[in-house]
Amino acid sequence: MKAYIFPGQGAQFTGMGLDLYENSDVAQHLFEDANRILGFHITDIMFEGSVEDLKQTKVTQPAIFLHSVILSKVLGDKFQPEMVAGHSLGELSALVANGVLTFEDGLKLVSQRALAMQKACEIQPSTMAAVLGLDNEVVEKVCEETAGIVVAANYNCLGQIVISGEVDAINTACETLKEAGARRALVLPVGGAFHSPLMEPAREELAAAIENTTFNTPICPIYQNVTTTAVTDANEIKKNLISQLTAPVKWTQSVQQMIADGATHFTEVGPGKVLQGLLRKIDRSVTTESALLETAKQ
């Protein structure tokens, strides 16, 4: 079975999307639509902006979403997913790709998500850290026993977990995790504690927007970050998407379930190859590739 996967924040790069814009009328139309919907020329920043420009909260998440979704649209009839999944932000890209959300509604939600998360980050100093070389249970136990708010936030692949929480709690947990045998426990250059209880203000804000958005029946199952199982019910998809901001991204578990359900071929749709790298660490037996503009041309 063919699975299509969509990357999250951190996959952006300067010049992203320009090849799509220059080589596809469909892409050009959608990018111009995006400028109108967002109220500013995100294409100028994506195509010509610096790394710092792309780090702006209002830009990063919509930019990755646009690259992924527009690439899936340009693929046309060659885009035939039998299952989809997205890493964090990528879940919204996946929901447009499998027909649950319209392009416009998806982009509006991504923009609202980014701004809500930024506001939540400003309420309390917080951060995230990557932990390598420990079992999930060890990391979870250290988080539970550390004073303050710190939780396992991203289960990226076997032996790679990202923890999220208050700055002091993260620093303390990192020291404890190194003592417990972690190969690395490295604080990441991020603006806040994503996928932790500290995102509750953002979850509440985004929940209102999600509740007021139409969710359609998907053309194929989505494996959501919160549940890791195949979901096709629009109301359940909506509920899981609301929970996502404060819940962990169970990427390893989602991929394992997709493989158990018959996925043999994974195509990453969007900037970079981060998810393909994680996939190879989860299960080397499956085939992985990037969706490319060249393969979309008739």
Place of tokens 């959300």: 101
Spatial CB neighbours of 123, under 8 Å, sequence gap ≥ 6: 198, 201
Length reported for the chain: 298
Which are the contacts of 93, defined by CB distance < 8 A and separation ≥ 6?
6, 64, 65, 68, 69, 72, 86, 106, 269, 270
Angstrom distance (rounded) from CA 49 to CA 145: 43
Taking the C-alpha atoms of residue 148 and residue 165, their distance in angstroms, rounded to an integer, is 8
Alpha-carbon span 110 to 288, nearest angstrom: 26
Q: Is 88 a catalytic residue?
A: yes
Please identify which of the residues 67, 87, 126, 195 carries the catalytic annotation. 195
Beta bridge partners of 138: none
Cα angle 71, 75, 78; round to 5: 145
Catalytic-labelled residue, pool 24, 68, 88, 93 = 88
Query: Is 195 labeled as catalytic in the residue annotation?
Result: yes
Cβ-based neighbour number of residue 23 at 10 Å: 14
Residues 160, 191: Cα–Cα separation, whole Å: 20
Could you tell me if 165 and 152 are in contact, meaning their C-beta atoms sit under 8 angstroms apart?
Answer: no
Name the residue type at position 23: N
Radius of gyration from C-alpha coordinates of the chain? 18
Q: Residues with catalytic annotation? A: 88, 195
